[in-house]
Each structure stands twice: as structure tokens, then as C-alpha cells.
Amino acid sequence: MRNISLFFVAVFTLAHFACPLALNADQAVKWENQAVILTEYDDNVYKVVNDIAGDFLARVFFDSKLTLPTKYDSNVTMGYTLGAKVFAQEIAQDTLINQFLLRAVNRSWATSYLGGDGRVKFRNIRDGDEDYNKLNLNAFAGHYFAPGVSGEAHVGYTRFDFKTYDFYDYWMQHFGFQVKKAFSRDFQFAAYYTFEDKHFPFNAYENVATTGGNVFLKETSERRNDTLQEIGVFFTGARWVLCNFRYSLQINNSNSYGDGYYNHRVRLTLSKSLTEKTNAHLLAIANFRDSYEEVLIPRSFSIEEDDENYNQILVKLNRQLSDNVWLETRYGRLWSQYSVRRFKFNKNTYSLGLSINF
């Protein structure tokens, strides 16, 4: 990745100033690991409408986090995540993801905290056509105004580098804040706002009017620039069932024709213990997205693996086999309601495997 040293320099500096790095001998070092191994059938590997290809695959996920307690009620967390997909027939889509995390939080003040994190992600696909690198740097500060009432502000920088083609490349600066109210241990409510300023390394397009009223795009001399505002609310409840609900309104303005849109996004997660050793989980995401102008191709959809841009349902059932081992079954459905028919696909996945915590 270009300027990859920026990640290491910025995050090390952030960790140094956010937390006193001397270890706290009174608290234990925490090392948490999770591994998931699944066999899966995907009935639409390429997310297309025509010439649909289904295939069996093995999916591997490993996540490791090491938390070091430091003096004055602070900590530093280092993490590594590995994700892999190996297909039986569509081997060109074999995927390997490596992600590294460094996070520091200073809670030495009675009513405030300060911190930041850095993440770098590398995705590699066997055919090399959709490889990318992604860098995220964030800083945040929070304050407790009254019992159960808190606020947090954050700023950040993101850089995305698509290896084979600069059409999806961008760098972005963003900031935002949220206010949260805890009514009890079982119920919390929050509202938030985020602003993103996104820059692309290619020129914007304008629509040239034609006598027939058809869309005819012409390249301009300006670089494409998008600004996105997101306003949302979410709440968490934990009585009979653990429930997380989030609603957000996203408004994206662009100087490139066809890339302005607004989107209503609803996200719901439910978790419930059915028996002492059996848990059920549901994830549902719905998007209601409209563009300001007639769109020829969906340039606003990134090549990133961000499934929140699509509608989806994921149902998961876990059965505990031992203290640290769970049998896991999943059903997932992913679909797009894009207005252009050739982008309106359906995708179903069926998975069975093991989840191990150690």
C-alpha cells in the first residue's frame, strides 16, 4: 500500500500519547482467540443475474486479540484477523484476508476517556483481479455528563487501494459524534451523526443533454468528490431476548453524475438462548436506496466486501459441545434491489461447522 509506513507511525504515536505504556502489574493480560471452520454451499458465487454459478467452499475465520492493561485504568489492544475462502470449482475466487489492529484507550480521568485505533486490511484473490488494501485511522474522545448519559466524538482517515484499477480507489476524511442514554442495565438508546469527505483519483462525469432525453456522460476536468452525511439512532434491549436495532439515513452528494443518492438503512440483530446449550441468532439488514439521477452503472457500490450495502438475512444456530467448542449452522440470503435489472441478484448460502474459543 502506498505510504504504508503512515499506519505504523501514526498508530504508534497515538498509542504512546493516549496511554501510559508501563504495564499494570495488578491486572492480568487478556488474550482472546476464536476460530470458526465452516463448510458452505453458495448458490451465486459471483452475485450475478445471468450465468449463475454455485459452488461448495470451505470458510475459515480466526480472530486473536491481546489486551495489555496499563497504568491509570488504561489499556492497549493488539489484534489479528484471518479470513479465507477455498472453493471446490470456482478456484479463481479463493480469497485470503489479513487484518491487523492496534487500539489504545486512556480512562485515567473520572468522567472522560481518550483513545484511537488503526486497522490495515489486505485482501487477495487467486486471480488477482479484485485484490485491495485498506487503511483506517481513528481517534475518539468521550465524556460522561451524568449517570447514564455520555457523549463521544471521533475523527478519522481512510485510504483504499484497489490494485488492478483505480476506478474504486479513494481517500476519505470523516468525523462525527454520538450521544447515548442508558435507562437501565437492560436498555440503552443513542443518536449519532457522521460526515465523510471522499476523494477519488479520477475525473467526475456530467450528463450532456440530448434531443431524445437520453443519458450521455462526458468526462469533466474535476476530480470526483463525494460528501456523505449519515444521521441515525440505535437502541439495545436485553430482557427476554437480546435486541440491537439501528436506523440510519445516508445522503450522498457527488459532483459526478449518477453517484448522488439517499439511503434508508435498517439493521436488526436478535440473540436468544433456547436451552442451556443452544443459542439462536438473527441478523437482518434492509436498504431503501434511491438515486438523484438516472444511473447507467452502479459506481456508488464499492468493490469492498461490505455486505451492508445489500439487503440480507442471516440465521445462525449454535449448540455447545464442550466448554469451548460449539457446533454452528447458518443460513444466509443476500439480495440487491437495484433499479437496473442486470444488478438485481439473489444469493443463498448454507453453512455447517465448528466455532472454537480459546
**Terminal C-alpha separation, the chain:** 33
The number of beta carbons lying within 10 Å of the beta carbon of residue 25 is: 8
Does a structural domain hold residue 151? no
Q: Do 355 and 254 sit in the same domain of this protein?
A: yes
Residue 147 above 60 pLDDT?
yes
For the ranges 54-63, 181-190, 239-248, 256-265, the lowest mean pLDDT is seen at 256-265
Q: Which of 60, 93, 122 is where one domain is finished? A: 122
Q: Do 217 and 85 sit in the same domain of this protein?
A: no
Q: Do 178 and 50 sit in the same domain of this protein?
A: no
In this prediction, residue 4 carries a pLDDT of 47
Q: Do 8 and 115 sit in the same domain of this protein?
A: yes
Residues 143 and 139: their CA atoms lie apart, in Å, by: 14
Q: Do 117 and 199 sit in the same domain of this protein?
A: no
Number of domains in the chain: 2
Angle CA 191–196–199, to nearest 5: 170
In this prediction, residue 298 carries a pLDDT of 54
In this prediction, residue 24 carries a pLDDT of 56
Does a structural domain hold residue 251? yes
Q: Which of 96, 122, 148 is where one domain is finished? A: 122
Q: Which residue's entry shows cell 509506513?
A: 5
In this prediction, residue 42 carries a pLDDT of 98
pLDDT in tens, 228-275: 999 999 999 998 999 999 999 999 999 999 888 899 999 999 999 999
Does a structural domain hold residue 148? no
Task: Report residue 36 as a C-alpha cell.
Answer: 470458526
Q: Do 356 and 285 sit in the same domain of this protein?
A: yes
Does a structural domain hold residue 156? no
Does a structural domain hold residue 145? no
Residue 7 above 60 pLDDT?
no
Q: What is the pTM of this model?
A: 0.86
Q: Do 332 and 241 sit in the same domain of this protein?
A: yes
Q: Do 187 and 70 sit in the same domain of this protein?
A: no
Contacts of 130 (CB under 8 A, 6+ apart): 123, 162, 164, 303
Q: Which domain holds residue 52?
A: 1-122
Residues 35 and 64: their CA atoms lie apart, in Å, by: 9
For the ranges 88-92, 108-112, 138-142, the lowest mean pLDDT is seen at 108-112
- DSSP category for residue 16: H
In this prediction, residue 248 carries a pLDDT of 97
Does a structural domain hold residue 159? no
CATH number at residue 321: 2.40.160
Q: Do 245 and 304 sit in the same domain of this protein?
A: yes
Q: Do 308 and 176 sit in the same domain of this protein?
A: yes
Of residues 339 and 351, more confidently modeled: 351
Residue 139 above 70 pLDDT?
yes
Does a structural domain hold residue 143? no
- Provide the mean pLDDT of the chain: 89
Q: Which of 70, 96, 122 is where one domain is finished? A: 122
Dihedral in degrees, nearest 10, Cα atoms 210, 215, 220, 223: 160
Q: Do 105 and 219 sit in the same domain of this protein?
A: no
Q: Do 228 and 346 sit in the same domain of this protein?
A: yes
Beta bridge partners of 31: 66
Does a structural domain hold residue 353? yes
